[in-house]
Amino acid sequence: MFMEGKEKLGGKLALVTGAARGIGRSHALRLAHLGADIVINDIGLESYKEFGEKISAPTVVDEVSALGVKCIGIEADVSNKNQVEVMFKNVLDEFGHIDILINNAGGLVGEVFQSFASSVSEKDLRATIDRNLMGTIFCCQEATEPMKTQGWGRIVNTASQAALQAQQGGVYASYGVAKAGVIAYTRYLAQELAPYGITVNCIAPAYVSTHRLEQKVFSIPGWKEQYLAQIALGRMAEPDDISKVVEFLVTDLGDYVTGQCLSVCGGVIKF
């Protein structure tokens, strides 16, 4: 049976981590358009202000609520297991169920040119692994039992092109290692949870045009032009390009897809 619009995810509850700006915000808005109630998680619910991202309401929670679904915001650091446990307890107390988990929170800790495999500091390496891999694991573990009990669930983790191929010059090594762990964890979890009607997949975006990226990475002279030359489709991804793939994985369109890592890169070609 084909479903359209808000029928696709009506009655479902989706928790999106790192959703107060950028790609996570895009995921939350798209899932709300499809009818899901939304939990916005971020380490700071006003993080959109950090890089000057413009939103259409006073907060991202207000933006999502304006789409006619229920939405709450929860500040929590997903790399902190205790905070994750409290967050999921609050979600279950508020909604009674969790159907969709989008593990979007992450990012490189430290400077790009201090992320080499041979020299990245222990502090930056551990923090990058905690933010990307451990945060994903903690959230998946908390979502597993409620989803198993109801016999249905959709989990989408976030990897990166940096996990699939070494970046030019060797930068982003610490980030790539953490995201490679996310891919492996996704595959193991998918095998474990498939008998319970739960699919687990991940996406591997390349660079996505966000305010944060423009200011932190593409401010390096020549970096953006060099990267654009490698994209077969000839343009940068927008956040919604990534969210459309998430829609596929959490709706009926992706019912028979699990344990996969989908590359969302516009055909990036490494020279």
78 and 84 Cβ atoms separated by less than 8 Å = yes
Can you point out the beta strands (E) in 81-235? 100-103, 153-158, 198-205
CA-to-CA separations, 44 to 19, 21, 73, 206, 233, in angstroms, rounded? 10, 10, 10, 25, 34
Phi and psi for 38 in degrees, rounded to 5? Answer: -130, 140
Return the residue matching tokens 């897809």.
257
Q: Is 175 one of the annotated active-site residues of the chain? A: yes
103 and 157 Cβ atoms separated by less than 8 Å = yes
Catalytic entry in 48, 172, 175, 185: 175
Return the residue matching tokens 């109630």.
37
* Residues classed as catalytic: 175
